[in-house]
Structure formats: C-alpha cells, structure tokens
Chain A
Amino acid sequence: MPIDKIFKDDASEEKGERARMASFIGAMAVADLVKSTLGPKGMDKILQSTGRGHSVTVTNDGATILKSLHIDNPAAKVLVDISKVQDDEVGDGTTSVVVLAGELLREAEKLVTSKIHPMTIIAGYRMAAECARDALLKRVIDNKENAEKFRSDLMKIAMTTLCSKILSQDKEHFAEMAVDAVFRLKGSTNLEAIQIIKKPGGSLRDSFLDEGFILDKKIGIGQPKRIENAKILVANTAMDTDKVKIYGARVRVDSMTKVAEIEGAEKEKMKDKVNKILAHGINCFVNRQLIYNFPEELFADAGVLAIEHADFEGIERLGLVTGGEIASTFDNPESVKLGHCKLIEEIMIGEDKLIHFSGVEMGQACSIVLRGASHHVLDEAERSLHDALCVLSQTVNDSRVLLGGGWPEMVMAKEVDELARKTAGKKSHAIEAFSRALVAIPTTIADNAGLDSAELVAQLRAEHHNEGCNAGIDVISGAVGDMEERGIYEAFKVKQAVLLSATEAAEMILRVDEIITCAPRRREDRM
C-alpha cells in the first residue's frame, strides 16, 4: 500500500514549478490590480465591504485597497504585507512598492523559464538593488541648512504626493496646510498631535488648518460659551458616582433613612471633589470621562466651563497644546500645572457646534478641518492628507529629497544597466531584468495618463544618457521635461523604502519552491 498521503485531509502541497507559478501569478495579479492607481492620472477603486451595511470606500491609496482585499494566495499576502509596512513606516509609496515587486517577479518569471536558477536571479537582484541605492544616494539633494529652501522642498513633496489623490484640484492649498502642520510638530513624528476633523458640507477648498485646537464636543448647558484667558484643568477622573475602590466594599443598610444618609455622603463627596477642582482657580475643566448632571450643575454654578467625555486622544492633544498636565487627583492645587489659552469659544462648522481653543501656549498640536461634499470624499481626503503628513514628517527628520516623475527610476535603471554590462556570468541577466522592472514604473505612470509610454520612456532614456540630467515625465503636459523646473520632488526615504522592501519581497517569493497549505480551521458557526 503506497503512502502518498502524509498530510491531513484538506491540506495540500504544491511543488517546484507549480509552486513557483502559483506564487508568481498571485503576486502579479495583486500588482496588476493596483497598477492602474499609480501616478497623477491613476484611477480610483471602489471597495464594497462584505460586512453589515455594505459600506463603500472610494480610494486611490494602495495600502487601503490591499488591506480590504480577501486574499487566499500566500504570495499575494506577502505583497499586501509590504504595502502595509510601507504605510506604517513612511506613509506613502504604498502602490509603488507593490508594483515594483510585481514587476521584479514578472521579469524573474521570464528568467526562470529561460532556465536560470532562482538563486542566481536573487544574487543578481541583490547586486542591482545595492547599486540602485548608491545611484540614488549620489543624486540626493539636501537643503537642511537653508530653512527657506527646505520649506519649499517640503511644499513640492507635498504637492507631488497629493497630485495623485482626490485633493489634486486644491493641492497647493492642502500642501500649504500639511507643511504648516508638520512644522508645528518640530521634528516629532507623532502624527497623533495633528487632529483631523471631518465635517461634511462645503467644498474641499473650505478646509482649513487651525492654529489652535478644536474639540468636537459640546459645552455643558448653562455654562459660559466664551472664556477669555482661560485656565484649563485637563483631567482623567470619574465624575459620575465615585466608586469605592476598596475590594469587596458594599453598602448594606437596614433602613430608608440610612440610604438617604449615604446618598447624602456620596453627594457630599462629589461636592468635595468639585470644590477641590475649583480650588485650582480654573475656569475650564475638561474630563476624559463622563460628568454627571450633579457635578455639571456645580460647575455651572461656579461659572466654570466643563467639558465631558473628551476621548483619550483629545485629552492628550489638549495636554500637548495647552501645556497642562493630565490630572487625576486634586489634593495639591498649587503644584498641578494648568493649561492656558487666550480664548475658548463655541464655533459652528456646518451644522455642528465645536469648541475652539485659540491662542495656546505651546503650538505642538493643531487641527485640520476638512470639508467636503460627502463622507466618501472626506474619507479619501483624510487618507490623502495623512499620506502627505507622513511623508513630510519623515522628510523633516531625513531631509534628503529626490526629483520625481520617474526620474529616480531612470537614474537607477541607468546605473543598474551599466553594472549589468560589467558583471560576468548569468547574474548579469538578472541585473538587466532589474533595470527593466525599474523602467516599468515610469511606463505605468505614462500609460495610466493615456500617454504613449513607449515613446516617452525612450525619450527619457535618451535624455538620461547625459550626465546630471533632470528629465522626467510631466504627466500634465504629457511630455518629457525638467523635473526641477516643474517642482516635482519626492522624499528619499520613501524611494529607498520602496526599493528595499520590493526587492526583499521579490527575493522571498523567489526562494520558495514548495507551498504547503494547511487545512483551514473548521469553524463551528460556519453555515
């Protein structure tokens, strides 16, 4: 009796060529899926969730698209993962990284069919990636010293990032906003400090950056709507019934009067607490947790503005902006740092009332209010802005920039081609293939814009034959042009991450010669 079954029932195994084919095809399918969103004229995708409500997302962001896909092919999952990491790490280039990895695999497939061993291809790819990175390093521009120029660099990067998104109509407006917001962070990469508030209504152009801080909450009833020179206590404390925290404590009484007494004591306790808080000499109190009616009334009596249920981030940001500390005990009023701001007032955006803190001491945090016609537009606008903010905040730390519009790819391709000519052995085929994969990115950008990619890329290649050329594809005019003049810039960090992660992922998939799939876990509730 032959034993051909060593796995469990539903598990399967694919070997050698078949395994390689399955992973190549899976990876390329994913790359082709997002390919059409690349570049300023890239198209968007509609994603409909299978969950309740069948909510719809319209997006151009590679990471968002891939995140929402249900993928079964393991190689495709690798690509989804690199796109996610790219999003977490630098925030932009999530489509490029997948497209590049897909192209690398497409080229590798051709080499494998012409009987070149995957390990040889990997060796070639590695050399090529190293060489490409060096080529980029040679051509980076660093304007860190010159603040004026650095700012204009950032503006250009933001505009380049935004031009492929829904915001491209008002890219200057949004780029300005993003650069301002990032400069306020002063080098920190904590984007939590930038609050993005979405309010439907108006047009995208009505979006604005607020120097102060906007809290999406309402002011308690009967309390002042406008406070000048506010002293703010930011707190995280229970303002409902303050529980007794000692374990096992419970109230056991034998008569109604006692209940009343205890209730009275509880009330007294709350009143005490409120009094302690008031002893800080404040006129605004912001709490993370709920404030019940009774304390709210007490605050109103004292003429103090009490804001309840500001969530964690709201509290943290408020702490950052106003410079107050987040308090939970109130026994030493003299040593608690209070937050300050010039003016607190209720403002109206669209239909909603918001609380606006202006004239704050430390300007680390800020708010961006996005306006737009629908929730879909707003969601996409937020994602686009998020991309821009991520790239900018990373660029502030690593100020090296590159030109855009397919320029870096061409520079790399040229160097890699030269390396291929110098390399002896089968590896040179792989190196050449790497350069072809790099050129595929400007080709895709041109194709997506409906331009004659073959013509443009050939022109570009010719231009790049000259040393120190700045030529790239200008999609708007549909011709090859000087990228420096047109102000199309990209961050070095993004390009480097794209290059390295794509090569790494391609290498990983190439090394695989067998796929073993376990039986899916049986779920009880599956119908």
Chain B
Amino acid sequence: MALAFDEFGRPFIILREQDQKTRLRGIDAQKANIAAGKAVARILRSSLGPKGMDKMLQGPDGDVTISNDGATILEQMDVDNQIAKLMVELSRSQDYEIGDGTTGVVVMAGALLEQAERQLDRGIHPIRIAEGYETASRVAVEHLERIAQKFEFDVNNYEPLVQTCMTTLSSKIVNRCKRSLAEIAVKAVLAVADLERRDVNLDLIKVEGKVGGKLEDTELIYGILVDKDMSHPQMPKQIEDAHIAILTCPFEPPKPKTKHKVDIDTVEKFETLRKQEQQYFDEMVQKCKDVGATLVICQWGFDDEANHLLMHRNLPAVRWVGGVELELIAIATGGRIVPRFQELTPEKLGKAGMVREKSFGTTKERMLYIEHCANSKAVTIFIRGGNKMMIEETKRSIHDALCVARNLIRNNSIVYGGGAAEITCSLAVDAAGDKYPGVEQYAIRAFAEALDSVPMALAENSGLQPIETLSAVKSQQIKENIPFYGIDCNDVGTNDMREQNVFETLIGKQQQILLATQVVKMILKIDDVISNSEY
C-alpha cells in the first residue's frame, strides 16, 4: 500500500483507520473486479436457453426457490462482493425495463469482462477498451435495427405473439405446456392493451396462484379473482348481475381522527348512545341497499352486528379485501371506490355479470370469482400446479411472457433468437472494427468475440459441440448472407430460426447489449477498491 510520509518520517493517515482496510489499486483492482463479475456470470451461464438448467436457492429462513430466471436467482443469492452486486443490479434493471432476457444480459456482461481482461494483459488502457466497447455496441444496435423485421398482428391474428411468448417460455420449467400458457399470456395482454396508444398496463393483469391441480388447469379469467370468501357463511354463494359497492370504510361506528372523549355520566346519555349505535349500523346497511347494491366489497372488517344485518337484509358482503385488489375490482367493474357511506350513489356502483364462490381441494379454501365485468379491462391469470415452488416459478415465467407480449405491442419489431441475432451482430461488429484506426480496433474485435459467447453457451447447454456448431452457423450466415441462422437447441434439424419460430423482441435484445456494455464500462473504470477488511 502506498504511504505518504511527512518530513519526520511519520506516515500520513489519509483514510480513517487505514490499517484496517484493504486496498486494491490499478491493474489489480480491475483484475479483481473482472474476476468477480465473471464469477457471477458463470453461475448463470448454464441457465441460458431452452436446455438450460435451474438453480436451487435456499433462503436465509430455509425456504427453497427453484428458478431459471436470471433476475430471481441473482436477487435471492446472498451476494457480498460489490461488483457482484453491480451485476445483480444489471439483471434487475433488465427485468424492470424489458422483463425478459435477464440471464442473457449477465452472460453477455461476463463475456465482455472476460475479453476486457485479455486486452488489459496486452497493455491496453481500460478507458480505451471502454470506448471501443461503446463504439461496438452502437454498431451492434444499429445493425439489429437494420435486420429487424416487423410483423403484423391484430386482435384476431395473434399467432405471431404466441410464437414469441413460446420462445420465452421454452427455457422455463413450464415448457411442458408452453403453448397454452403463451396463449393465456397473449390473450391477457391483448385484453388489457390499448392498441391505439400501443401501451399495456401490466398492473391490470393479476397473477394468482393456488397449489393443487395441475399446470394444465391454469386458466385466464376475464375478471377478478379474490382470495376471500363471503363474510357470513350463510350468504348466497352466487350472485348474478351484481351491483357492487366498493367501500374503503369499515362497517363500524365512525372513528374520528381527532382525539375526543364521549363522557357518559347519566343514564340518559347511556341510553342515547346505545340507540345511536344501533342506528349507525342500520343506516349503513340501508345506504347500501338504497343505492341498489347487491354486493358489498369492503377493505375493512365488519362488526358482528353489521355482518348479521347485511346477511339479514340479503346483502352479501366480502371483507378484508386488499387495496390493490380493490382497485382492480373497481377498474374491472367500472365502479368507484367510495370512502364514505354518505357518498354512495347508484352511479358509483360497479357491475359484474356473475360473482361466485368456488372451493378447492379438501381444505376450506374458497375463492371469489368476479366475472363478466362491465369493463373487461382487467384479467386474472390463475395458476395451478403441483407444489409451491412450481407455482412461484410459473408466476415468474408468466410474468416474463407478459412482458414480452407487451414489448411487442409497444414495438412490433423482432429479431431471431437462438443466438442468430448475436452471431450476425458479431459479424457486423467485426467488419466495422477494421475501419477504426487506433487501439479501439482491438476492443471492438473483443466485443465481437464476446457476442459469440451467447450462442456458444446455448450450444454448450444443449449438449452440442460449441466451437464446431458456432463456426458452422457463422459460415452459413456469411455464405448465404441471411441473418436468421442460429443454434438448433431443440435438435429439430434446421438452423433456420424462421422455420423454428424462435423470435425475440428487438428492444429486448438492444437493451441487453446496451445495459451490458454500460455496466462493463463502469467496472473497467474502477481503479481503486477500498474495503473494510475482515473483522
């Protein structure tokens, strides 16, 4: 560690408690950071592609997660290293932005780091490498734009969307019924999509899971599913043509926010208070009845007496419905959320064609289906599966598929999957590299090499000879000048991704390249790591 000395030969203390910190500088720091980044990428590398393996994660409380989703794996991993944390962030931002390709982006970043290490050994300055990468990524993104294809779809012809979602789902454990799940995801997205504005609000799609049954029983419900039952066991279990009052006030005597005391000092007061109390409940129920509600959905609980009154007046009710669900119900049924009984009016009621309670399995669990809503712009995907981990993993997979479908509606450009896009980018970047004078040329070539690592990993995971397969596909692409050849992961017998129907979204791919480059640049620029040494 470099130390400064004053004129008496005593060391200057620059960092507080300097002797307790470890410090890495210069090339050592970069090497260490690259090693950490690569270590994270190595974990995910085997999860890539349709034949990728899963990871089993045991959480701090002993709970088990089994997942193939890069973002989930990294998030649940107990990472301590700062650079590794950066990689976790990288995968997370891909998840937020695109929702899919979270594994690919980390593998890509890992490959870029690996190549950077080689360039460092050659003595190229990290900043020059970073600049070269930046140029190369621009070339790659532009190239993708050029080769991207638009495909047309509308509400009736959504087959292309289904195909793309199937590509996403094929790498997950649910690939057994990827067709039906992809269809569910596409239908759900189309149901809530605003095709005019090309926008999709994924909040309108609720994904609910219940253990039991089998994956094939997963269904799309045009309406809302609430994991609650009627507040009183003897209320009707099925309501047709329901007019729903959506309340956020409890069926209880009012509780003013300001502090107050009601003093009882005479018998008369006691009596009046008693009367008033009864009246409260009566009025509340009467209000609901008056506006014509046939179902009350409330965010809060009911008093026993109120509950009975509701039941007595034949007004079914559901209590303790969560805020998010309440909002969804309001959107779906076209109702308004009413915070006070006084404000209830017939116009504020939501409408649904059918509300029914359904029970599952041998336990007492029941769920409430709200269907045929006035405004069908809210849907629920109801997942069934053999065990809890399966349900969780299916939820994540469906989320990915939903994101892909949404991205396609926003921007209907696609590129071909199976590594085809990476291979053609690699070729384009390689060709572009020669035009740049100066040291950056090496960095650009390194970028091209790094792009190759994704198809390489795909081939490796599918049990193919990685180098042979990749070079064969590459030469095929150059020879025929067609950017659709990729790795034949499923052993179908053709390399043409158009025939295999393996698509990915253009923005997803572009985002992957840009994000990975950004993070790698950031890591390369670090030349000093100061950390607390072990305590």
Contact = CB atoms under 8 A, between A and B. Distances in A.
A326 B80 contact: no
Given A189-B361, A246-B262, A249-B273, A336 B62 contact: no
A335 B260 CA distance: 38
Given A7-B78, A261-B267, A519-B78, A319 B387 contact: no
B340 interface: no
Interface in B348-389: 359-364, 385-389
A508 B173 contact: yes
B475 interface: no
Interface in A311-338: 316, 319, 325-329, 331-332, 335-336
B254 interface: yes
Contact of A245 (B211, B303, B389): B303
A112 interface: no
13 contacts: A6-B80, A81-B387, A81-B389, A117-B463, A119-B51, A189-B361, A246-B277, A248-B256, A258-B266, A329-B278, A511-B66, A513-B54, A515-B58
Interface stretch (A87-95, A138-146, A347-355, A370-378): A87-95
A325 B58 contact: no
Q: Is the interface of A mostly helix, strand, loop or mixed?
A: mixed
Nearest to A247: B255
A7 B83 CA distance: 11
Contacts of A91: 362
Given A85-B386, A237-B305, A249-B261, 12 more contacts: A5-B81, A74-B58, A75-B56, A81-B387, A192-B364, A258-B265, A325-B312, A504-B214, A508-B54, A508-B389, A515-B55, A517-B57
A265 B54 contact: no
Given A91-B362, A244-B273, A3 B305 contact: no
A475 interface: no
A43 interface: no
B378 to A, nearest CB: 28
Given A85-B212, A244-B273, A191 B362 contact: yes
Interface residues on B, range: 35 or more
A264 to B, nearest CB: 7
A78 B263 CA distance: 59
Given A189-B362, A521-B61, A504 B390 contact: yes
B233 interface: yes
Interface of A: 1-9, 11, 13, 19, 23, 72, 74-75, 77-78, 81-82, 85, 87-91, 117-119, 126, 188-192, 236-238, 244-254, 258, 261-262, 264-266, 269, 316, 319, 325-329, 331-332, 335-336, 390, 393-394, 497, 500-501, 504-505, 507-508, 511-521
| Top 6 A-B pairs, shortest CB-CB distance | A328-B308, A513-B53, A501-B386, A521-B60, A504-B386, A89-B212
Nearest to B81: A6
B300 to A, nearest CB: 14
B20 to A, nearest CB: 17
Interface of B: 24, 28, 32-33, 35-36, 39-40, 43, 46, 51, 53-62, 64, 66, 68, 73, 76-81, 83-84, 173, 176, 211-215, 232-234, 252-256, 259-267, 270-271, 273-274, 276-278, 280-281, 303-309, 311-312, 359-364, 385-390, 463
A467 B176 CA distance: 31
Contact of A3 (B39, B232, B281): B39
B92 to A, nearest CB: 16
A518 B271 contact: no
A289 B524 CA distance: 70
B54 A326 contact: no
Contacts of B59: 518
A505 B387 contact: yes
Contacts of A249: 261-262, 264, 273
A251 B273 contact: no
Contact of A504 (B51, B267, B385): B385
Nearest to A337: B234
A248 B260 contact: yes
A7 B77 contact: yes
Given A505-B387, A518-B57, A520-B62, A88 B76 contact: no
A95 B195 CA distance: 51
Contacts of A192: 364
A88 B362 contact: yes
A253 B68 CA distance: 69
Contacts of A252: 263-265
A246 B363 CA distance: 37
Contacts of B306: 328
Contacts of B254: 247
B55 A516 contact: yes
A518 B77 contact: yes
A260 B533 CA distance: 74
Contacts of A89: 211-213, 360-362
Nearest to A323: B234
A3 B252 CA distance: 61
Given A75-B56, A119-B51, A508-B54, A85 B64 contact: no
A329 B305 CA distance: 6
A253 B265 contact: yes
A112 to B, nearest CB: 12
A428 B172 CA distance: 23
A254 to B, nearest CB: 7
A74 B62 CA distance: 8
B39 A82 contact: no
Contacts of A336: 312
A350 to B, nearest CB: 29
Nearest to B306: A328
A189 B361 CA distance: 7
Contacts of B32: 1-3
Contacts of B233: 316, 319, 326
Contacts of B39: 3-4, 6
Given A253-B265, A504-B387, A511-B173, A328 B304 contact: yes
Contacts of A316: 233
B264 A250 contact: yes
Contact of A327 (B35, B60, B308, B390): B308
Contact of B60 (A19, A258, A519): A519
Nearest to A512: B56
A385 to B, nearest CB: 13
A343 B332 CA distance: 50
B31 to A, nearest CB: 8
Nearest to B61: A521
A504 B175 CA distance: 12
B26 to A, nearest CB: 12
A513 B66 CA distance: 11
Contacts of A77: 62, 64
Contacts of A90: 361-362
Contacts of A517: 57-58
A212 to B, nearest CB: 20
A3 B364 contact: no
